[in-house]
Amino acid sequence: MTSLRVAICVVTYNSGPLIADLVASLDGGAEGVVPTLVFSDNSAGDETLEEIRRHAADATVVRNPHNPGYAAGINAAIRAAGPQDAYLILNADVRLDRGCIAALAASLTPEIGIVVPLLRDAEGVRISSLRRRPTVLRAWGDALFGAERVGRFPLLGEMVTDPASYESAHQAEWAEGSTQLVSAECWTTCGGWDESYFLYSEEAEYDLRIRAHGKTLWYQPRATAQHLEGGSADNPRQWSLLMANRVKLFRATHGRPATAAFWAAAVAREGSRSLLGKKTSRAALRDLVRPSRLRQPRGPRWLSDVQA
């Protein structure tokens, strides 16, 4: 039986220190498939390209002339990869366990267009990586009680935190975007990631969009990986963008009354946390209450304008 051809598509941004360990994990992680490694580099001149040349000399490298965002970087990598059976969208801070890609690929069907693995953090603790579709009730549940606490209750929580939900394979609505295997047929049918998001919510938009094309996302715990996770929770500029894009995503498929209620929940959430002294929430709140700010295109300038 011919092994599947899988392009491993990695977007880098000042990711030099991460490259060696990422590449080292791919030999075992790609066992059982025919891999093609593609880097799409959005960096601002650090040692990322040098590290790629040192540790993955045969990889295809797309050097973007500026930082077009994560979604645009993924789209560029998949274009450069050419025809494949599937595309593994991968963050530079992910480390694949042995056989991860093959275990993901085994779950692909004409209906299942995306498969995601069980993820652990840097300490080996299971990450709550699955999500439910955003709703007004879930936004208020998060605002009033916290995402981790209400995540056990499907009506109230967007983040899936019930441990039992991570024990067996099942369909999910969307998942965090660090490690997602997308079938070539799904990519062709549903198109690429929406580049207007720049960073954050682009994976949610795509995972939810495929449902309109008759495709689903599947969680497969037999496939495992480690995600070291970035620092958006501690970065005021990035957190502000994350919250703004949550509102943008909801607004794309809902009317004004529902969007207003969703926005109010986001304001309440960030306002209450601002009172506790969180710099990230203060930055997000300032942008959420400025309508002109929410209408601006996301991008490097948007990020640089947010004050810590």
CATH code assigned at 67: 3.90.550.10
The reply to whether 28 and 61 lie within a common domain is yes
pLDDT of residue 307: 38
The reply to whether 120 and 206 lie within a common domain is yes
pLDDT of residue 46: 77
Q: Give how many domains the chain has, as a whole number.
A: 2
| Res 263 pLDDT > 60 | yes
Tokens of 289: 């209450």
Are 264 and 275 a contacting pair, CB within 8 Å?
no
The reply to whether 39 and 113 lie within a common domain is yes
The reply to whether 196 and 252 lie within a common domain is no
Q: Work out the percent of the chain whose per-residue pLDDT is above 90.
A: 86
- The mean of the pLDDT values for the chain is 93
Least confident of 155-164, 222-231, 296-305: 296-305
| Res 302 pLDDT > 90 | no
Which of 32, 77, 72, 84 lies closest to 59, judged by CA?
77
Q: Which amino acid is at 126?
A: R
The reply to whether 134 and 252 lie within a common domain is no
The reply to whether 83 and 204 lie within a common domain is yes
CA angle 82, 88, 93 (to 5 degrees): 125
Tokens of 141: 């549940």
Q: Could you tell me whether strands 34-41 and 216-227 are parallel, antiparallel, or unpaired per DSSP bridges?
A: unpaired
130 vs 292 pLDDT, higher one: 130
Q: Where are the strands (E) in the chain, listed by range?
A: 5-12, 34-41, 60-63, 86-91, 94-96, 112-120, 130-131, 170-172, 174-175, 179-183, 216-227
Count other Cβ atoms within 10 Å, centred on residue 154.
13
C-alpha dihedral (21, 25, 27, 30), degrees to nearest 10? -140
| 226-247 per-position pLDDT tens digit | 999 765 667 888 999 999 999 9
Average pLDDT over residues 266-286: 94
The reply to whether 260 and 219 lie within a common domain is no
- CA distances 25 to 30, 55, 96, 98, 114, Å, are 8, 12, 5, 8, 22
pLDDT of residue 116: 98
The reply to whether 158 and 118 lie within a common domain is yes
pLDDT of residue 133: 97
**Which residues form the domain of 66?**
5-227
pLDDT of residue 168: 98
The reply to whether 188 and 271 lie within a common domain is no
Average pLDDT over residues 168-174: 98
pLDDT of residue 65: 84
Q: CA 16, CA 51: separation in Å to the nearest integer?
A: 6
The reply to whether 91 and 130 lie within a common domain is yes
The reply to whether 46 and 149 lie within a common domain is yes
Domain stops at, among 227, 243, 260: 227
Domain stops at, among 201, 227, 253: 227
Average pLDDT over residues 11-27: 95
| Res 34 pLDDT > 60 | yes
- Which 8-state DSSP code applies to residue 151? T
The reply to whether 63 and 118 lie within a common domain is yes
- Which 8-state DSSP code applies to residue 233? G
| Res 152 pLDDT > 90 | yes
| 176-203 per-position pLDDT tens digit | 999 999 999 999 999 999 999 998 999 9
Domain stops at, among 227, 261, 277: 227
What H or E segment, with its residue span, contains residue 177? none
68 vs 298 pLDDT, higher one: 68
- CA distances 228 to 93, 96, 285, Å, are 5, 11, 27
pLDDT of residue 45: 72
| Res 117 pLDDT > 50 | yes
